[in-house]
């Protein structure tokens, strides 16, 4: 339950970002990353928070790992629980806060 | 070889395996402390490919598995209260407590909701000011900053009906405890790369020195793990004991300082029991007094409780490498992912579940009965 998933920052608004994960868009909080994050950056996300900006040179390798994991798990023959974990990370966005 | 050969990098993996076997002049015992690594090692059969040279002990690397029974029982008590909406990551729902699990509490009418982020729980609290919303804050160092942030945000926004049941644990004290156990067999550790992405590995450095044990920060892919094992073996063979980083791509020595700071502001260290292992000094986190208003244990006056672990579960022996899961008499018969007796059979990262799914997969692909799994 602690893998995190990489996604592309497509919108920014102060401390929240909209991040694209293979076509699925989620809001993600940026409180925990200490480097400035810009549109076009990749971030590693965990339970609704970006925990790391992925250095440009690492982006391809990181994406490949997850793509492999997700692809294998849709091939059907075997149950991959780790892929299920990745999927639940994909489902984890930061909710839009309601007005009190 | 079948399982590894299905892996796209089998051609790179095989020479690595040969190299590990060549370099190991005697059998070495390594422990991985990461459920993701356990899952990969078992599923890809890496432990079998290395047999004779390297023994892998699947350590307490899964937060779901080590959450103490006391905290599970407290979660069950809270979830059963009529005024409470109990929120949790999905993997906790099937973890067996003394007499039932969260899913059963829900079936009996308890309001138990799965959330993917602690912020979802906070948002539920804001939408239901008339209910008490409790979030089950479990996890290792990776998850602690997010959970700390949710509590921080609750205070900032003033959400009095939100509280957390905290059961966080941190890995370095567990490594220390394992090394100090009189019957310890572990000679080197693979540490979790993604856990270190947040905390860095500075805390591992004194451990490697003090216990004279190599620690290699490693990823969770098959090639990562094999490389990590090779680096550990090279240290063992040359009598070195330092912290090395195999997983360069995502980890910096100092981790993510902003996240570390938030954890320290909200949580403090506390002695914590690990399920199957026992109490490990200063290995857990609890809320600091400044956040006491959000502590579900205080809010609901839970205090000390009496627990009842299944006498059939051998999780402690599995976690210390004394017993391989398939050798547990309950494995695959009385204990399955559908009806787990112990937490190691529940989560994707638990060693027993990993072996169970491998056995099932092998049975399906070989179209013949596989051991205990029907
Ligand atoms: S197989 Fe089940 S009962 Fe046996 S050690 Fe694993 S979790 Fe416990």
- pLDDT for A69 equals 74
Interface touch A82/B89, C-beta < 8 Å: no
- pLDDT for A90 equals 74
Q: What residues of chain B lie within 8 A of the CB of A7, using their CB?
A: none
Chain-centre distance of CA B117, in angstroms?
A: 18
Chain B interface test: which of A24, A76, A95 (most B C-beta within 10 Å): A95
Which ligand 1 atom is the nearest neighbour of the CA of B328? Answer: 4
DSSP state of A99: P
Cβ of residue A4 closer than 8 Å to a chain B Cβ: yes
Which residue among B120, B220, B256 places its CB closest to the CB of A32? B256
User: How close A73 comes to chain B (CA, Å)?
Assistant: 13
- pLDDT for B198 equals 80
Return the CATH number of the domain spanning residue range A5-91.
Answer: 2.30.30.140
Q: What residues of chain A lie within 8 A of the CB of B40, using their CB?
A: 82
- CA dist., res. B288 & res. B284, Å (int): 12
Interface touch B143/A4, C-beta < 8 Å: no
Q: How far is the CA of B76 from the centre of ligand 1 (A)?
A: 21
Is there a contact between A54 and A62 (Cβ–Cβ < 8 Å)? Answer: yes
Tens digit of each residue's pLDDT (9 = 90 or more) over A56-67: 888 888 888 788
Q: B97: closest CA among B136, B67, B57, B135? A: B67
Q: Does residue B241 sit in helix, strand or coil?
A: coil
Cβ of residue B243 closer than 8 Å to a chain A Cβ: no
Cβ of residue B158 closer than 8 Å to a chain A Cβ: yes
What are the two backbone dihedrals, phi and then psi, of residue B301, each rounded to the nearest 5 degrees?
50, 50
First vs last C-alpha separation in chain A: 31
Question: Which residues contact residue B372 at a Cβ distance below 8 angstroms, ignoring those fewer than 6 apart?
Answer: B326, B331, B332, B333, B359
Interface touch B198/A51, C-beta < 8 Å: yes
**Residue of minimum CA distance from atom 6 in ligand 1:** B352
- Phi-psi category of A22—alpha, beta or left, where left has phi over 0 and alpha has psi -120 to 50? left
**Residue of minimum CA distance from atom 1 in ligand 1:** B331
Q: How far is the CA of B337 from the centre of ligand 1 (A)?
A: 10
- pLDDT for B201 equals 87
Is there a contact between B168 and B285 (Cβ–Cβ < 8 Å)? Answer: yes
Cβ of residue B366 closer than 8 Å to a chain A Cβ: no
Burial A4-34 (b: 16+ CB within 10 A, else e): bbbbbbeeeeeebbbbebeeeebbbbbbbbb
Tokens standing for residue B218: 């490693």
**pTM score, two decimals?**
0.90
Is there a contact between B230 and B246 (Cβ–Cβ < 8 Å)? Answer: no
Cβ of residue A79 closer than 8 Å to a chain B Cβ: yes
Q: How far is the CA of A21 from the centre of ligand 1 (A)?
A: 36
Tens digit of each residue's pLDDT (9 = 90 or more) over B223-242: 889 999 999 999 999 999 99
pLDDT tens track, chain B, 374 positions: 334 545 556 777 889 999 999 999 999 999 999 888 998 899 888 999 999 999 999 999 888 899 999 999 999 999 999 999 999 999 899 999 999 999 999 999 999 999 989 999 999 999 999 999 999 999 999 899 999 999 999 999 999 999 999 999 999 999 999 999 999 999 999 998 877 778 888 899 999 999 999 999 998 888 889 999 999 999 999 999 999 998 866 677 888 888 899 999 999 999 999 998 899 999 999 999 999 999 999 999 998 888 988 899 999 999 988 899 999 999 999 999 989 999 999 977 899 999 998 888 787 777 544 444 43
Q: Dihedral of CA A41/A42/A44/A50: which sign?
A: positive
Q: Dihedral of CA B196/B198/B199/B200: which sign?
A: positive
Residues linked to residue B215 through DSSP beta bridges, in sequence order: B189, B243
Interface touch B257/A34, C-beta < 8 Å: yes
User: How close A14 comes to chain B (CA, Å)?
Assistant: 15
- pLDDT for A5 equals 87
- pLDDT for A94 equals 67
β-pairing, B162-169 vs B132-139, is: parallel
Q: What residues of chain B lie within 8 A of the CB of A61, using their CB?
A: 249
- pLDDT for B249 equals 65
- pLDDT for A73 equals 61
Provide the residue count of chain B. Answer: 374
Mean pLDDT of chain A: 81
Q: Flag whether the ipTM exceeds 0.90.
A: no
């Amino acid at each position: 339950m602690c893998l995190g998933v990489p996604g592309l920052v497509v919108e920014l608004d102060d401390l929240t970002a909209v991040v694209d994960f293979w076509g699925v868009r989620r809001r993600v909080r940026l409180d925990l990353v200490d480097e400035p994050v810009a549109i076009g950056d990749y971030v590693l996300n965990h339970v609704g928070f970006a925990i790391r900006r992925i250095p440009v040179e690492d982006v391809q390798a990181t994406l490949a790992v997850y793509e492999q994991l997700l692809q294998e798990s849709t091939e059907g023959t075997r149950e991959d629980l780790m892929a299920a974990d990745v999927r639940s990370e994909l489902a984890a966005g930061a909710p839009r806060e309601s007005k009190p | 070889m079948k399982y590894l050969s299905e892996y796209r990098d089998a051609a790179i993996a095989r020479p690595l395996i040969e190299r590990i076997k060549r370099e190991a002049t005697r059998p070495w015992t390594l422990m991985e402390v990461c459920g993701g690594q356990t899952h990969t090692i078992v599923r890809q059969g890496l432990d079998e490919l290395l047999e004779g040279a390297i023994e892998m002990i699947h350590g307490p690397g899964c937060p779901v598995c080590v959450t103490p029974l006391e905290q599970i029982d407290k979660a069950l008590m809270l979830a059963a209260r009529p005024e409470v909406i109990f929120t949790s990551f999905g993997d906790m729902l099937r973890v067996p407590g003394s007499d039932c699990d969260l899913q059963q509490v829900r079936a009996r009418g308890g309001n138990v909701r799965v959330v993917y982020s602690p912020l979802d729980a906070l948002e539920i609290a804001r939408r239901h000011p008339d209910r008490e919303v409790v979030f089950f804050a479990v996890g290792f160092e990776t998850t602690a900053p997010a959970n700390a942030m949710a509590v921080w945000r609750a205070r900032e926004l003033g959400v009095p009906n939100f509280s957390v049941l905290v059961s966080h644990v941190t890995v370095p004290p567990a490594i220390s405890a394992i090394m100090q156990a009189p019957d310890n067999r572990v000679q080197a550790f693979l540490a979790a790369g993604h856990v270190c992405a947040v905390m860095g590995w500075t805390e591992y450095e004194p451990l490697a020195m003090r216990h004279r044990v190599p620690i290699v920060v490693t990823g969770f892919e098959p090639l990562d793990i094999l490389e990590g094992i090779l680096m550990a073996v090279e240290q063992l063979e040359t009598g070195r004991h330092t912290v090395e980083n195999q997983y360069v791509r995502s980890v910096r020595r100092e981790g993510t300082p902003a996240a570390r700071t938030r954890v320290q502001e909200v949580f403090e260290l506390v002695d914590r029991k690990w399920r199957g292992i026992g109490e490990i000094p200063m290995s857990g986190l609890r809320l600091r007094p400044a956040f006491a208003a959000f502590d579900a244990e205080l809010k609901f006056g839970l205090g000390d409780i009496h627990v009842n672990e299944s006498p059939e579960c051998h999780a402690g022996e599995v976690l210390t490498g004394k017993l391989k899961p398939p050798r547990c008499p309950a494995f695959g018969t009385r204990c399955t992912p559908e009806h787990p007796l112990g937490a190691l059979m529940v989560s994707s990262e638990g060693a027993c579940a990993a072996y169970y799914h491998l056995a099932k997969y092998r049975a399906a692909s070989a179209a013949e009965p596989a051991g205990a799994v029907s």
